[in-house]
């Protein structure tokens, strides 16, 4: 697999199912190398697998499809000419799609009412005079909260997200649109009650909102009346969904500390609360079950709640009973469930799921009466047109006797091969069986195809192995992660075809942080390093990142006096081996100043260091940046390792 094969790695979005479960639709996004951009189209499939999936729209930027429950229409997002994405309505019995919203910054995911007559959605409402002309002509911003912007988006404080309801069949949908919420609060994740009388959503409307991570679960009527909260703090939550009986709201949440800050390696579990507010929310899943970062969704059905859980490099789709008893696995194996939809039909539960693996960035499959049907063949293009190397699992044992899961991707040939230790981001994520997402295997396949044996693994502090595994590192993140990484590497190097004298370290985000830490504390073991979009100095990160204060406290402790000892920059004078720092200049999560500070510290000490800056990109350059930038990044990485290994 070559780095120019990224066009063979389409990304499938969240699918939608018709009310009878017969049809599934999904957005498929793929890089367009010739146009240096992306194309997103909608595909339609019959869930019994009787016919091949077919192209429904030709985009070029269609997304977020939603079947009306009666199956007669498909709502989806499409940019209007010269403008942002708006909700469009496509009649499935024939006819063209037409826009039904006209918000200045665009509309969000459409959500149908149970009777198929209304759509609820979120849209950002800009402050007067904002985002209508050249940015440099706007008035200055007055910032009063710690959280005021977001990576990949920009400022959020002057364009809060509000809830709207519209009649998409009205002659003038704009006149038939109601703004349900107001105020300087951000709202998200709307859903309808089964009888259509209530809307549920999340919002941080408490005193101190914007300075902490707390948000709450809210309900109101579709016209905005009767607004009330069902939770009272202590949680960061999302995905509120009504149970079929309408009396219970299920949601995903993570407990916060007494100051409403996150623990960083705490599991994101399944919870429920009575809609009438008669009892407090309660957790349905054990702390060892963690909602996968890949899916970030739940779905209540008749017999329980669908929940996608990390598990040892896999993501399983589970059915969690409403009483919180032992979940039933529905989709398992060496693969990951990235998104799904489900409906109860007279014949039982029908599920449409996007599933990725070590040989596929994602395909759509259905689960009907317990039987799986593969509905698309996007993964086949990759295996048919490239040499997809096998991913070999191994177990490493740490000095304190703890077993860790790791993988090796080997090049073809006998070796001995130079070695790359690749460190994932997070830290509370997992490497695993997928070619799509923040901890995927696609990069390892590219590097192995170029001649490097790539070692990957999940040290303690990551998800997928239970709460204790994740919380192991909370009091000393870097010093407790490094021995686990070295144990994974040492075990892999026992193989005679791996050359332990030619080893490099690389990683992005948390992996960039750990790459710099390894350079400073274990540099003698390696020849060179690559740190990408990393955190290198906790103090300035806390002040400059979009989520800096929370992450600094969650990962490095509440005492700023101790942040220096946990910052790789503090130990820059111990780094002597070559370092390549890769950074996007629009990264708001690990801002450019982090890379600049490390670069200057090493350059002024005479260390061989280079800084590779990508213009106009954010934190997710390697996954969603311009295709030309993604390819240039791969070229730079391989040139660096060719030079030093």
DSSP string covering 439-458, please? T-SHHHHHHHHTT-EEEEE-
pLDDT over 90 at 589, yes or no:
yes
Q: What number of other Cβ atoms are within 10 A of residue 483's Cβ?
A: 16
Domains in the chain with CATH codes: 3-136+144-382 (2.120.10.30), 389-644 (3.40.50.1820)
The reported pLDDT for the residue numbered 590 is 96
pLDDT digits (tens, 9 = 90+) for 154-205: 999 999 999 999 999 999 988 999 999 999 999 999 999 999 999 999 999 9
Dump pLDDT digits (tens) for 554-576.
899 889 999 999 999 999 999 99
Q: What is the DSSP letter of 5?
A: G
How far apart are the C-alpha atoms of 599 and 166, rounded to whole Å? 52
Tell me: the pLDDT tens digits for 248-305?
A: 999 999 999 988 888 888 899 999 999 999 999 999 999 999 999 888 899 999 999 9
**E-strand stretches of 243-347:** 248-255, 269-274, 282-283, 298-301, 304-311, 314-320, 328-331, 336-345
Within 10 angstroms of residue 539's Cβ, the number of other Cβ atoms is: 16
DSSP H/E element including 506: strand 498-508
Tens-place pLDDT, residues 18-43: 999 999 999 999 999 999 999 999 99
228-229 sheet: strands from edge to edge: 187-192, 199-203, 216-220, 228-229
- The three-state DSSP-derived secondary structure of 161-221 is EEEEEECCCCCCCCCCCEECCCCCCCEEEEEECCCCCCEEEEECCCCCCCCCCCCEEEEEC
Q: Tell me the backbone φ, ψ of residue 469, rounded to 5 degrees.
A: -60, -45
- Output the pLDDT for position 369: 87
Q: What phi and psi values does residue 154 have, to the nearest 5 degrees?
A: 110, -150
CB 87 within 8 A of CB 119: yes
pLDDT given for residue 469 in this prediction: 95
In sequence order, the 6+-apart residues with CB closer than 8 A to the CB of 604 are none
pLDDT, residue 13, reads 96
Cα–Cα separations (whole angstroms), residue 65 to 61, 93, 112, 191? 12, 16, 11, 15
Instruction: Determine the pLDDT at residue 45.
Output: 97
pLDDT confidence bin for 135, thresholds 50/70/90 = confident
Phi-psi region of 413 (alpha: psi -120 to 50; beta: other; left: phi over 0): left
Task: Select from 90, 88, 116, 117 the least CA-distant residue to 101.
Answer: 88
Alpha-carbon torsion (233, 145, 160, 237), positive or negative: negative
- Tokens 């490094």 correspond to 482
Q: CA triplet 360, 363, 366: central angle to 5 degrees?
A: 140
CA-angle at 277, arms to 188 and 319, nearest 5°:
65
The DSSP line for 297-326 is: -EEEETTEEEEEEEETTEEEEEEE-TT--P
> What proportions of the chain, in percent to the nearest 5, are helix, strand and coil?
20, 35, 45
- The pLDDT of residue 261 is 85
Nearest to residue 459, comparing CAs of 491, 433, 416, 427?
427
At 144 the pLDDT is 94
Tally of CB atoms within 10 A around 114: 17
Q: Angle, nearest 10°, between helix axes 627-644 and 442-449?
A: 50
How is residue 200 written in tokens?
Answer: 């549920």
At 136 the pLDDT is 87
First to last CA, the chain: 20
Residue 321 — very low, low, confident or very high, per pLDDT cuts 50/70/90?
very high
- Cα–Cα distances in Å, from 169 out to 98, 101, 118, 194, 477? 10, 11, 8, 21, 54
**Span 43-55, average pLDDT:** 94
What are residue 50's phi and psi, to 5 degrees?
A: -75, -20
What is the number of other CB atoms lying within 10 angstroms of the CB of residue 116? 18
- Output b/e per residue, 397-428; b: 16+ Cβ within 10 A: ebeeeeebbbbbbbbeeebebbbbbbbbbbbb
Tell me which residue of 147, 91, 87 sits closest to 122, measured CA to CA. 87
In whole numbers, what is the pLDDT of the chain averaged over residues?
95
Q: Judge contact between 221 and 193, C-beta under 8 A.
A: no
Per the DSSP assignment, residues forming a β-bridge with 24 are 17, 45
pLDDT at 563: 96
Q: Which residues pair with 566 in a beta bridge?
A: none
Please state, as a whole number, how many other Cβ atoms lie within 10 Å of the Cβ of residue 190: 22
pTM of the model: 0.95
CA 481, 583, 295, 269 torsion: positive or negative? Answer: positive
Q: For residue 265, what pLDDT is reported?
A: 85
């Amino acid at each position: 697999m070559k780095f120019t094969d990224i066009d063979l790695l389409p990304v499938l979005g969240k699918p939608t199912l018709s009310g009878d479960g017969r049809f599934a639709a999904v957005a498929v996004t793929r890089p367009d190398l010739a146009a240096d951009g992306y194309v997103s189209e909608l595909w339609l499939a019959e869930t019994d697998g009787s016919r091949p999936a077919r192209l429904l729209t030709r985009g070029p930027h269609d997304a977020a499809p939603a079947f009306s429950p009666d199956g007669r229409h498909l709502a989806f997002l499409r940019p209007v000419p010269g403008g942002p994405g708006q909700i469009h309505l496509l009649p499935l019995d024939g006819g063209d799609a037409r826009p039904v919203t006209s918000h200045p910054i665009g509309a969000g995911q459409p959500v149908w009412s149970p009777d198929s007559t209304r759509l609820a959605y979120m849209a950002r409402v800009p402050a007067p005079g904002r985002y209508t002309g050249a940015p440099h002509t706007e008035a200055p911003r007055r910032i009063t909260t710690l959280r005021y912007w977001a990576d990949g988006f920009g400022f959020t404080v002057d364009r809060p997200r509000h809830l709207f309801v519209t009649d998409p069949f009205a002659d003038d949908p704009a006149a038939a649109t109601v703004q349900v919420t107001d105020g300087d609060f951000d709202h998200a994740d709307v859903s309808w009650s089964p009888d259509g009388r209530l809307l549920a959503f999340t919002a941080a409307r408490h005193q101190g909102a914007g300075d902490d991570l707390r948000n709450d679960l809210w309900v109101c009527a579709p016209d905005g009346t009767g607004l009330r909260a069902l939770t009272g703090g202590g949680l960061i939550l999302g995905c509120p969904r009504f149970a079929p009986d309408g009396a219970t709201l299920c949601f995903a949440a993570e407990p916060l500390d007494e100051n409403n800050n996150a623990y960083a390696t705490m599991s994101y579990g399944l919870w429920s609360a009575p809609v009438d507010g008669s009892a407090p929310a309660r957790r349905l899943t054990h702390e060892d079950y963690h909602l996968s970062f890949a899916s970030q969704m739940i779905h209540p059905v008749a017999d329980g709640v669908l929940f996608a859980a990390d598990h040892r490099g896999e993501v399983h789709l589970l059915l969690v009973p409403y009483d919180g008893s032992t979940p039933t696995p529905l989709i398992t194996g060496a693969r990951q469930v990235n998104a799904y939809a489900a409906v109860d039909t007279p014949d039982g539960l029908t599920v449409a799921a996007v599933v990725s693996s070590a040989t596929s960035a994602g395909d759509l499959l259905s689960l009907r009466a317990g039987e799986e049907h593969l509905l698309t063949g996007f993964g086949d293009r990759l295996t048919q047109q490239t040499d997809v190397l096998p991913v070999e699992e191994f177990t490493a044992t740490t000095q304190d006797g703890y077993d860790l899961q790791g993988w090796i991707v080997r090049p073809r040939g006998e070796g001995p091969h130079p070695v790359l230790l690749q460190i994932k981001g997070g830290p509370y994520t997992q490497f695993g069986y997928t070619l799509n997402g923040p901890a995927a295997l696609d990069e390892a396949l590219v590097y192995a195809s170029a001649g490097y044996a790539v070692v990957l693994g999940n040290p303690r502090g990551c998800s997928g192995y239970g709460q204790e595994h994740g919380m192991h590192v909370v009091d000393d993140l870097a010093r407790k992660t490094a021995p686990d990484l070295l144990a994974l590497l040492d075990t892999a190097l026992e193989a005679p075809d791996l050359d332990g004298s030619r080893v490099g370290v690389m990683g992005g985000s948390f992996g960039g942080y750990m790459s710099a830490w390894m350079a400073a504390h274990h540099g003698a073991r390696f020849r060179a390093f690559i740190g990408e979009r990393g955190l290198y100095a906790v103090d300035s990160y806390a002040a400059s990142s979009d989520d800096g204060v929370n992450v600094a406290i969650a990962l490095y402790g509440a005492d700023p006096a101790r942040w220096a000892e946990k910052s790789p920059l503090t130990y820059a004078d111990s780094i002597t081996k070559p370092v390549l720092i890769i950074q996007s200049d629009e990264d708001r999560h690990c801002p450019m100043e982090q890379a600049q500070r490390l670069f200057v510290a090493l350059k002024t000490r005479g260390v061989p260091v280079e800084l590779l800056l990508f213009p106009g990109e954010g934190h997710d350059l390697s996954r969603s940046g311009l295709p030309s930038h993604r390819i240039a990044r791969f070229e730079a990485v391989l040139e660096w390792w060719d030079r030093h290994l």
